[in-house]
Amino acid sequence: MIPQLLVSVRNTAEAAAALAGGASIIDVKEPRAGALGRASLDVIAAIADVARSQQVPCSAAFGEISEWSGPQRLQLPTSKVQLDYAKLGLVGAPSGDFVHCWAEAMQRIEAGCLSQPPQWIAVIYADWRSAGTPGPNAVLPAIETLRTQYGLRVAGVLIDTYSKTGGSLTDLMTPDELRRLRKESHEKGLFLTLAGRLSTIDLPELVPVQPDVIAVRSAVCSQSDRLNAVNASAVAEFRAEMFRQFSEPGALPLHRATVPS
């Protein structure tokens, strides 16, 4: 199976470059604001319009749970956007029973920022201990509660790295660990996205995992620096290598794969 390629962008010019390079999904984030840095709602809306014009799904990062709960929580904007997918990190989640706080923050984002409920992507940081977030053994069982008790549409799982100055995902988790998470995700009807400073060097280790989506930013930016602009040629090169690694011999690459449901 050939994974879909998700490219994270910070503006409409980067979105156009990602699409020109063959991205399957456009994701909005502000890399200067962290692993799941939240862009302004105006930026998210503009990029979502670009993706929609090309009939490509759009997702957006909404920061960490600490930004949406407690006394310092963000004020809700006056406008709303339409998205296919949304993500919220768990940095700042209370220890112990974090699920209610997580659900409350997601519901607040839905009500205040989005014109219709998105499909949520549950985030697990590979470096969850140093990030101070719940780990896989806590996050995955909580998803059913989000679905049944709170009515949230959780469609997938993202395995990412919180620190962007350390190693890549494959430095922090083995293929066997990732394959176990894929199995558990699929058993819950969730698709699996892998991210975390991934480059073409990491692809051979990801082939046995068979993720549904591979997400990149730094690998497709100028000079492989996530703070630089996304480059269409780099996107095309990453996509070509991904097809080469994951394709069966003689398989013909498709321009875009089917969106997980």
By the 8 A CB rule, do 12 and 19 touch? no
pLDDT tens per residue, range 52-89: 999 999 999 999 999 887 655 656 656 789 999 999 99
Structure confidence at residue 96 (pLDDT): 79
- Tokens 């519901």 correspond to 107
By the 8 A CB rule, do 142 and 93 touch? no
258 pLDDT band (50/70/90 cuts)? very low
Structure confidence at residue 219 (pLDDT): 96
The larger pLDDT score, comparing residue 234 to residue 165, is at 234
pLDDT tens per residue, range 5-64: 999 999 999 999 999 999 999 999 999 999 999 999 999 999 999 999 999 999 999 999
Enter the pTM of the model.
0.91
Structure confidence at residue 55 (pLDDT): 97
Structure confidence at residue 203 (pLDDT): 96
Structure confidence at residue 63 (pLDDT): 95
167 pLDDT band (50/70/90 cuts)? confident
Residue 90 tokens, joined: 């768990």
Domain boundaries, the chain: 4-246
Phi, psi of 41 (to 5 degrees): -65, -35
Other CB atoms within 10 Å distance of the CB of residue 97: 11
Lowest mean pLDDT among 55-59, 242-246, 248-252: 248-252
pLDDT tens per residue, range 200-220: 999 999 999 999 999 999 999
CATH number of 4-246: 3.20.20.70
pLDDT tens per residue, range 108-140: 999 889 999 999 999 999 999 999 999 999 999
Structure confidence at residue 165 (pLDDT): 82
